[in-house]
Every structure is written in structure tokens, then in C-alpha cells.
Structure 1
């Protein structure tokens, strides 16, 4: 029975991947900005209803922002899938995407510390969330000559994962998959003075119970623990999308070294502040609050 189920899942993954590949091929035939607009529309009007994203967005907002007026919640149910579509199109646009972010200035109080770390070859952890486009900072810094790698979680669909990793590799390398081998490679890169982009806002079963939007959220302590172990600078970073199609590349003030729990909570607080300011750009389809939201 397990073999039959495994074969069935593999076939379903293959079919899903072929549909995605076909859609991406059509999108990539379009000019960059048109590509992003079309991907946004497809996500909002086709994928979101079929995948049940609107209900997930609504439930998450009800949990952490019960004060939000109904019309704003409805608007976010449409806007969030559009943001996801734009991000997907950008991640698959390699050179076009890098060209767009390469000319954007670095902003924020953490920029001098980042420049000093480059000069002294101090390890840096660039911590972000699924807000705006989380690869905008990585692409923008690599274009400026910064040694930036990325930690990523391999997709459950192995067929999709193959071309997804190839796509984000065109934004820049090295890339490190979560797991023992990837972690060892990432540590060697960090110890050599590298910088690594880490996305922190996924619920991790082995994470600590910390607060995010006033609700308990399992959060990985690994970035803070690595920072303490290898004396790495910890910088919250964000690639925030602007209405004109460009990005604000923000580098916030460094998180002071203390305990892994306190540092990680500070990172959660930084991300929460940015999400509150840019509600339509965060991935509200996430199962971020598994501990509290029983619909999961």
C-alpha cells in the first residue's frame, strides 16, 4: 500500500510540476513588468480560490488582527496572492530581477555595520521573512560584490525543487539546502567571512515558543545560535516592494548579542513591525501559528 501511495504522490507531483513549468514558460515569454502583472492576476483569480488561500488569509488575520475592518481584510485576501504571484515571477526572472534591484540604494541604520563587516570579513546573518521579495536583498548585495549565500528549504515536490533551485541560483550563489550537508557548507562559508540570507518566519517543530503578533509561534533559534558561536553580525533585512515596481532595500540596526531566545524575539519583533506597515506584502497563507490556530 505504501509503495502505491508513494507512486501516486510521485505521479501527482510530476503532473503538478509540468503544469507549473508550462505556466512559467508562458510567463517568461513576456517582458519583465508584464510578467509580474500577469503572474499576480493568475495567483489572485485562479490559484488562490483553488488552493483555499483566501480562507487561510482570513483565518490568520482573524487570529492576530481581529481589529481589522472587514473591508480591509477582504482587500488583503486579494492583495496577498497578487504579491505571491509577483514574487514567483521575480524569482524566475534571474538577470531581469537582479538588474532591477542592483541599482536600488541600501537604506536603514544597519548599512554602516554591513559595510564594516564586508571590510573586516566578519560573518553576517541577513535575517528576513516572506515579506516583499525576500531575495531582493541577496540579489542586490551580490550585484554590489558582497559575498552572500542563501539558506533554503527544499520543496516537497522534488520535480519542482529541481528547477526552483536552478532559478534562484541565477540570482546568485552559493545556496545551502537545510540539512546536515548544507549546514556544514554554510558554516564553512560563514567562518570564511561570508554573509548568509536566512528566512526566519516559518513554523519550526523544534523551534522555541516565542511571540509573533502577540501569539505563540514556534521559531528557529538556529540563526541566533550560529551568530553567538561564530561571532556573526545579525542584521534584519527587507526587500520591500514599491508601487513603481522597484524595491526599498532596508538594513535595520544589528541585533545585539545576548541569548538566542532574546535575539530571536528581537528578530520576530522587527519583522512584525515591517509586516504591520506592509500588510499586503507578507505571506499570510503561511501556517505560522500552528499552536493556536486549530484550523491547521
Structure 2
């Protein structure tokens, strides 16, 4: 994916981290998508729930889904880590996973008529989703319908690892696409891309401190406002979608019809209404299968546990 190269010199630790990532990806690639998914899931199930960051997931679940008891929350957290590990194991196989409506490794699409119709219609499009299932499969799958989309992007701290991941994403997409840094400058570049008839994909389920005060799971949650601002201003389609995990390296892309854009004449209110509409849709997607979502973000405007200071 096209991104600005880092100007930071690579340290010895960065080289070691990159070597570890390359080695792990080589193992995943060698053993095939199903066994790689199973291995990644196993490793993360064993390690992830014991990491301090899992306390954030538990606190989030206490707030967002208070109906879950401690045993249920632990199950969700284990499922979440299993999904994270499977995503990692499947990552080097995204370029070769077949479109397969049957069983076994591959992916299929529910709602492909909305992608086909938009490709025939042409013009700018905004795709919205969240960190649900194997979210990395969404861009390459949509690209197969002639709708390759750019994304907002936060690079890893290690530029060598960043390059490895970007090369894998380019291979999965079948072509390089521009990426936009999160923030005001990136938003301006993304708007220019949309104005030229481009397509933009946005994962809008993370906290954005300079966003708008919408609600998520009934709680105040600062939410990125760029998606709604662009959609309301340009009246371009906003198409929700997410990736459901059916099994090891077995994925289903769900594409929903374009949202009905608010048009009250009050642009600020319309933007707020659209932002809330998307938050509600993401929440409704997460609730039936909470273990498919990434609960590790500090998503809500409340105090969450911090890492214990080292003695």
C-alpha cells in the first residue's frame, strides 16, 4: 500500500523484531492457511488472556455488556484472542485464499449485489466497518468487484515491520492503493481522493479524541467524524460491511445496502445522525458474537485500568 516512507533509522531492536515477524510469517505461509489459522489461534489463546492489556477488554465488557458475568467475559476474551491469532496466521494467505462458496479455506460474499451495483454506478464510495472477524479480508474481497479502496492508516512504530505488512496487503489487493495518515492532513488527502471519484474504507470503531460525541453500547464514545462529514457533503454512498469467521481460514463477507443519508438541511445534525447510525450498526453486529470484536481499545470516555508500574 502506498504510504510515506519512514525517515527514522532502523535500530538493532527493529531489525530483530522484523526478523521475528518474517520468520513467523514464513512458518504460517509454509504450513498452509488452515493450520496457520489454528496455530495462530492456539498461541494467542494461551498467551493473550494472561497479558495486562486483557484487563482493558474486561473493563470494556463490564461497561458495554453488564449482563455478562465473569465466566462469560472470560469466554469472550479468549474468543477475541483466538480471532486475533487466527487473523495473524491467515495474513500471509489473504492473496491466495480463493473465493469459495462451498467449504474449506476461502471466502464468500453475502450481499454482493450491492457491490456489483455500485461498481456499475461508478463514482465515489465510502465503505465502513469495524475490527470484526478477519477485517483484513474486507479490502481484497471488495477489490475483486472493481472497488479497491484506500484507507486511513497508522503505521507500526517499527518501519521494517510496517514495510512487511504493507507488502502483504498490496499482494492481497493485487495493486497498490494510497493510504492516508490519521489526522487533519490525512482527512484532507482522503477528501481529495473521494472528490476524484475514489473509494475509501474506514474502520470507525476506535476512539478519536478530536471526533464527535456519539454513543456506542449506550455509552458516550468519541467517534471519528470524517466519514459522516464527507458523506453528507458529497452525498456519496456509505456501504457497511464486515467479515464473519466461519472457521479456520473460512470467512464470509457481509455487505449491507447503502445507508439512507440524513438530509434535514442542517449539515451538522445530519453528520451527527449518520455517525450515530454507523455506531448503532456496528454495535448490532458485535452483540450476537462479542468475541469477534477487538475489545482492547480504550473506546469509551471513562477511566480504564492502566498497566501496573514496574517495580
Shorter-chain TM-score tier: 0.7 to 0.9
Structure 1 stretches of 4+ moved >4 Å: 9-14, 98-105, 179-185
Structure 1 Cα separation of the partners of residues 27 and 244 of structure 2 = 26
Distance 1:14 1:62 in 2: 39
1:282 equivalent to 2:293? Answer: yes
Greater helix proportion? 1
* Structure 1 segment 110-259 matched on structure 2, within 5 A: 111-172=112-173, 173-179=176-182, 183=187, 186-243=190-247, 245-258=249-262, 259=270
> Which structure has the higher relative contact order (CA within 8 Å, separation 6+)?
2
The alignment's TM-score, normalised by the length of structure 2, stands at: 0.81
State the partner residue of 1:271.
282
**Deviation per CA, 1:68-88, whole angstroms, max 9, x where unpaired?**
032221212211111001112
**Is structure 2 residue 306 aligned with structure 1 residue 292?**
no
What are the superposed Cα offsets for residues 80-121 of structure 1, whole Å, 9 maximum, x if unpaired? 11100111222332322365699744324xx54543322121
Q: 1:107 aligns with which of 105, 110, 117?
A: 110
Structure-1 residue corresponding to 2:72? 72
Do the aligned residues in 2 keep the contact of 1:13 with 1:159 (CA within 8 Å)? Answer: yes
Inter-CA distance 41–145: structure 2 relative to 1 (3 Å threshold)? same
Number of aligned residues: 286
Distance of 1:21 and 1:48 partners within structure 2: 25
Higher mean alpha-carbon deviation, 17-26 vs 253-262, is at: 17-26
Shift in alpha-carbon separation, 1:150–1:99, aligned structure 2, 3 A: farther
Paired residues of 2:97 and 2:107 also in contact (CA < 8 A): no
| SS of aligned partner of 1:97 | coil
Q: Any idea what the Cα deviations from partners look like across 1:203-248, whole Å, max 9, x if unmatched?
A: 1121111111111111101011111233311111111111364222
* C-alpha distance in 2 between matches for 1:17 and 1:202: 26
Native 8 Å contact 2:106 2:251 kept in 1: no
My pick for the range that moved more, 221-230 or 175-184, is 175-184
Alpha-carbon distance between aligned partners in 2 of 1:188 and 1:158, rounded to the nearest angstrom? 26
Mean alpha-carbon deviation: is it higher for 9-18 or for 115-124?
9-18
* Residue segments in structure 1 that go unaligned for 5+ positions in a row: 1-6
State the TM-score, normalizing by the size of structure 1. Answer: 0.85
Q: What is the aligned partner in structure 2 of residue 3 from structure 1? A: none
Bigger shift: residues 92-101 or 188-197: 92-101
Report the Cα offset of residue 34 of structure 1: 0.4
Aligned partners of 2:40, 2:276: CA distance in 1, in Å? 34
Distance in structure 1 (CA, Å) of the matches to 2:99 and 2:165: 19
Is 1:32 the counterpart of 2:42 in the alignment? Answer: no
2:94 corresponds in structure 1 to: 94
**How far apart, in 2, do the equivalents of 1:21 and 1:47 lie?**
21
Tell me, what secondary structure is at the counterpart of 1:236?
strand
Cα separation, partners in 2 of 1:264 and 1:127, compared to 1, 3 Å: same
Q: Check the 8 A contact 2:90/2:249 in 1, yes or no.
A: no
